[in-house]
Amino acid sequence: MNLKLIGILTFLFMMLIPVTSAFALVVSSPEPYDYNNGLLDDDNIIKTNNFPIEYYDNDLSTRKSLVYDPYYVEFNYPVDLTGFYYNFNITFPSTKILIHHYDDDGIRIHNHSIEGKDSSSSYDSLDIKRVFKISLVRSGSNGNVNVNEIDFFGTYDTSDGMPEGNEPPQNIDFNVNETTASFTYDLPTDEGFSHIEIHANDQVYETDKSSFDIDGLSADTEYEVVFYSVDNEGNKSKGVTVTIKTDKEPEEPVPKDVKNLEIEASYDRVDLYWENPDTQYFEMAKIYRKAVENKTSFNINPFASTVAYAAEFKPIFETNGTYFADLSIEPETDYEYKVTTTYQGLESSGVTIKTEVPKAPIIDLDKLETPFDVKDLLTTGNGLLLLVGGFVLLGLAFMLVPRIIKLIVGAFSNSPAHGNQQIKEGRQPREQRQMSTQPRQAREPRMTTREPRQPRESRV
């Protein structure tokens, strides 16, 4: 029984060998249980691939950001896609990743959009026939887009070759601005080459040059441009699609206001400080001022409200700096300032600030000045003392010398010798002297005892 079964199985196996060989050119990618063994890993089918290696290295720990230039892969044979695996990280909800599929004429036949999420990983099933090119495009400029892994799965037939015709332009490059896209490329080297046909913006352009400009495009708009080569017999090559996006319109040169306006006031000056805007549309700051006078109209009611009368703003200064000192103010006056910025005749709306100037002091010690300093004061004082010192001493002498003399005489009068004499002789009391009637006796004439001086003999 077992031998019979083995024989039957052997016969069937031998019968299947030629059948399998008949389909030897049909290759099918394995069922994608994970992100391995996809079409990007198959070098036999890849014609052109500018995907970064981090996108399909079968390693989720490596990644690379998706920029605005589209990445694409072209196949040698048409592929019937059955699905694709992706692992993306998109940080802004409105940002998307667009996957475009093209046929052998470069015509987009299918789109797949992946919305922005914090992280996204999935395998999506597809059913798209005869795909020759797949491109990966970022839509939206907000946030970051990182690709950890992506690969495509499906079947292809190596017997189904590329369509005959001229080779399309190679190495296509471009530069864009708001309204123009400039392309450069390598022309085909076929002897029968005639010209390049370019499809863009619902128009068809022809040129035999290796560069071409497309004008009249809309700003901040995405376009798909398809390039074909045409031979002398009118045969057209397969198309090569390039996705471009024009630049945004430049900002209007609108001046922006200053920032962090501050004010300091005293009775004789007002100082303004600010920061100029961080923009190229700035020439200078312009300062305006108006006085605000508070008045109360006559009213019997003592609690009548105060009405503020303000003049119009008047320009007083222009500067490209960040400081201004107003020295032409009046004390006890309220002022309002406005600072604007200007650029090529345009002016910003401006930033305003108010202040109250205080009353001026009776004596401003800060402005008090003397014609002399401490050194001058000491020098002048010493000179004056030297000038009047003699007169002062002379006056003191008139006042003090009599007192000193009297003091000396009194000291001698009170000495012991003079004291005994007064005790012996004594003076009569004033009463007794007044009562005495005896006349004083006349003094006898004194007799001299000296001999008269002899005259000197004359000398011979």
Each domain of the chain, given as residue ranges in start order, spans: 26-157, 170-245, 259-356
Higher pLDDT residue, 1 or 209? 209
Average pLDDT in the 107-117 region? Answer: 82
The answer to whether 88 and 155 have CB atoms below 8 angstroms apart is: no
The answer to whether 44 and 28 have CB atoms below 8 angstroms apart is: no
- At the second CATH level, the architecture of 259-356 is Sandwich (2.60)
Dist. CA 263–CA 137, nearest whole Å: 53
User: Where is 379: in which H helix or E strand?
Assistant: helix 374-413
Percentage of the chain beyond pLDDT 70 is 73
Outline where DSSP puts E strands in 215-350. Answer: 222-231, 240-245, 259-266, 269-275, 284-295, 307-310, 314-319, 323-326, 334-343, 346-347
Average pLDDT in the 203-223 region? Answer: 93
Summary mean pLDDT of the chain: 78
Task: Give the pLDDT of residue 177.
Answer: 93
Task: Give the pLDDT of residue 302.
Answer: 52
CATH of domain 26-157: 2.60.120.260
CATH fold of 170-245: Immunoglobulin-like (2.60.40)
33-37, 235-239, 314-318: segment of lowest average pLDDT: 33-37
Task: Give the pLDDT of residue 32.
Answer: 56
Task: Give the pLDDT of residue 7.
Answer: 55
Task: Give the pLDDT of residue 454.
Answer: 58
Whether pLDDT at 305 is above 70: no
The answer to whether 165 and 238 have CB atoms below 8 angstroms apart is: yes
Task: Give the pLDDT of residue 156.
Answer: 84
Whether pLDDT at 380 is above 60: yes
Outline where DSSP puts E strands in 103-144. Answer: 108-114, 120-139
Tens digits of residue pLDDT in 154-193: 888 766 654 455 688 999 999 999 999 999 999 988 888 8
Decide if 170-245 and 259-356 have a common fold.
Answer: yes
The answer to whether 91 and 146 have CB atoms below 8 angstroms apart is: no
Whether pLDDT at 356 is above 50: yes
User: Where is 417: in which H helix or E strand?
Assistant: helix 416-424
Dist. CA 436–CA 26, nearest whole Å: 185
Average pLDDT in the 98-104 region? Answer: 89
Task: Give the pLDDT of residue 65.
Answer: 86
Higher pLDDT residue, 40 or 398? 40
Q: 361 Cβ partners below 8 Å, 6+ apart?
A: 267
Task: Give the pLDDT of residue 25.
Answer: 42
Tell me the β-bridge partners of 221: none
Task: Give the pLDDT of residue 285.
Answer: 94
